[in-house]
Amino acid sequence: MEFLTPGHCISSIRPLRDALDVINGKWKLQILVVITTGHQRFREIERSIPSISSKVLAKELKDLEAHKLIKRTVQEGPPVLVTYEVLPYADSLDPVIFALRDWGLKHRAMIMGPDAGASPA
């Protein structure tokens, strides 16, 4: 990293903080990936992410919707059908997701050895 003046430092930290406020935590990016791969109903999303509770999933879905990354659609009728879809704006996170995935693979290999990146989970 290059040396930054205090003014440059603040102007660099603010957008980073804003981005982290949107994607923070261990669930939001996982939820986006799951919805993108076709699991769009609440229970489908929940089953696709091991260890997430219903309460946490509901909160994270509301946050993602508030940040205009996903859309919640309610179809009335017996039974009521609620689905979630990723909005086009969420595509702007693709480079971030891919960069984090690539860094995670490299980091895992560095910590655990070169064969660690090939194993799932």
CA triple 61-104-24, angle to 5 deg: 30
Structural domain span for residue 111: 6-118
- Write down the pTM of the prediction: 0.78
Within a domain: 1: no
CATH number of the domain that 12 lies in? 1.10.10.10
* Amino acid 117: pLDDT: 52
Q: What is the mean pLDDT of each run of 10 residues along the chain (121 residues)?
A: 65 85 89 92 95 96 96 92 95 92 92 67 50
Query: How high is the pLDDT of residue 12?
Result: 79
Q: Assess if residue 33 is contained within a domain.
A: yes
pLDDT at residue 4, as a whole number: 62
Residue 69 in any domain: the answer is yes
**pLDDT for the residue 118:** 56
Using alpha carbons, select from 84, 95, 105, 101 the residue that is nearest to residue 32: 84
